Amino acid sequence: MAFRELRQQAPVQQVVLPGDLVAWLITGAAQARQALADARLAHDMRRLPDPRQGFGGRRYPDDIFSAEGRHLLNSDGTDHHRLRTVLAPLLSRTAAKRWKPFIARTCTELLDDMAAAAEPDLVTDYARPLAVRTTAAVLGIPAAARQQLTRLTLEMIRAVDPDQPTVRRQRATLFGLWARIVGHKRRQPADDLLTHLSHAHSQGHLTAEELVTVAWGLFSGGISPTTTLIASAAIEIMRSPHLRDALRAEATAARLTEELLRITSPFPVSVWRFALDDVALDTTVIPQGSVVLVALAAANRDPAAFPKPGTARLNRHQGGHLAFGLGPHYCPGAPLARLQATDALTALFHRFPDLRLATAETELRRQGVLIERGFERVPVYSGNIATKATR
């Protein structure tokens, strides 16, 4: 609602964000495409010539992906290309398909647990554990570290005050844990992404810091938005039961996922960008040094680009949404996220065709401030939810 009103006022405008940070917010689809593809809107604030620009040495809610370490979300140009090239073979569409049987087994196990639960929750019992288990398996994270790693990661992403002493201690604990995980992987290599990153480090393609922070970025980027996507998409299907028919065939299920990505936009706002020069978007000029946010959720619901934007239409042109970004920074984990969402939703509504919310939708609460806006809990109920599947 707020994004729509802002877009109606102007597709590019200045806003005051939590922490009194003045930034430029882009809400129009055409302007968002232009901004996402413009190399002058950098991810790396260290490229700004004046240290008083950008964040000005301060920390703000949701700044963690810009402020911590060196990884895909806060690098540009040759550095970003180097990091992305290291990861590309293991995050392709072909590589993602390798995990389809694992995802199917995990969905079945989690749905069995939901069937036995007195008060099943879509986030804590299904979407998040699926995203965590899948991402951990792809990376090669030991099972013993998974719970603590997930808790610390989510606490860091959602930190309202990154400079708070408790948050700083959590940050030190988190990256200390990552250092131990990386060390363990060096001693016990396997066919996983962490081993691949370790080899890349030994060959000089990654620094020691990048090895840890790239792994952290992949894990956090794998668990949080995927959880939000599955939970939000399921709510959308429960809101419009006719959409369940699309899950009966693989092709229509995939098209439905694209529309749900557009409608729900798991990352409602892109990570921070910083204007290296004056940047003109239509008739508006964003001054050099400005902080810029692209409202993906608003762009994906812009009626100028998507007629009847609140409606899922399976015949809509596929691939036109910006849920995964655009250009060089297009989300490398998109194939795996698509696969998880499509298979998770198909399994969920095949198992529980009468699934519905166990509370009023207005009672659902989200966490985070800007970039992270996932649901805390989504309690659900179905008349046959206690019926276990036949193995």
pLDDT category at 51 given cuts 50, 70, 90 is low
Predicted confidence (pLDDT) per residue in 267-299, tens digit:
899 989 999 999 999 889 999 999 999 999 999
Q: Is the whole-model pTM more than 0.85?
A: yes
pLDDT category at 386 given cuts 50, 70, 90 is very low
Q: What is the pLDDT of residue 89?
A: 87
User: What are the backbone dihedrals phi and psi of residue 266, each rounded to the nearest 5 degrees, phi first?
Assistant: -50, -40
Residue type, 223: I
pLDDT category at 345 given cuts 50, 70, 90 is very high
Does 344 or 68 have the greater pLDDT score?
Answer: 344
Q: What is the pLDDT of residue 318?
A: 63
339: enclosing H helix or E strand: helix 334-351
pLDDT category at 52 given cuts 50, 70, 90 is low
Query: CATH classification of 2-381 is 3.10.450.50, yes or no?
Result: no
Cβ atoms 301, 11 nearer than 8 A: no
Task: Say if residue 229's pLDDT is above 50.
Answer: yes
- Look at residue 292 and give its three-state secondary structure: strand
Q: What is the pLDDT of residue 55?
A: 82
41-42 and 21-26 as β-strands: parallel, antiparallel, unpaired?
Answer: unpaired
Q: Which of 20-24, 61-65, 242-246, 347-351 has the lowest mean pLDDT?
A: 61-65
Task: Say if residue 30's pLDDT is above 90.
Answer: yes
Cβ atoms 154, 222 nearer than 8 A: no
Name the residue ranges covered by the structural domains of the chain. Answer: 2-381
pLDDT category at 389 given cuts 50, 70, 90 is very low
- Look at residue 27 and give its three-state secondary structure: coil
For the segment 204-226, the average pLDDT, to the nearest whole number, is 93
- Look at residue 113 and give its three-state secondary structure: helix
For the segment 193-207, the average pLDDT, to the nearest whole number, is 94
Return d(Cα 150, Cα 374) in angstroms, integer. 14
Return d(Cα 311, Cα 286) in angstroms, integer. 33
Q: What is the pLDDT of residue 65?
A: 85
Percent of the chain surpassing pLDDT 90 = 75
Q: What is the pLDDT of residue 391?
A: 37
Task: Say if residue 323's pLDDT is above 90.
Answer: yes
Q: What is the pLDDT of residue 388?
A: 42
Q: How far is CA 50 from CA 41, 279, 293, in A?
A: 15, 17, 20
Percent of the chain surpassing pLDDT 70 = 96
Instruction: Residue 164: count other Cβ atoms within 10 Å of its Cβ.
Output: 12
Does 68 or 248 have the greater pLDDT score?
Answer: 248
- Look at residue 336 and give its three-state secondary structure: helix
Average per-residue pLDDT in the chain? 91
pLDDT category at 206 given cuts 50, 70, 90 is very high
Task: Say if residue 311's pLDDT is above 80.
Answer: yes
What are the beta bridge partners of residue 284?
281
pLDDT category at 3 given cuts 50, 70, 90 is confident
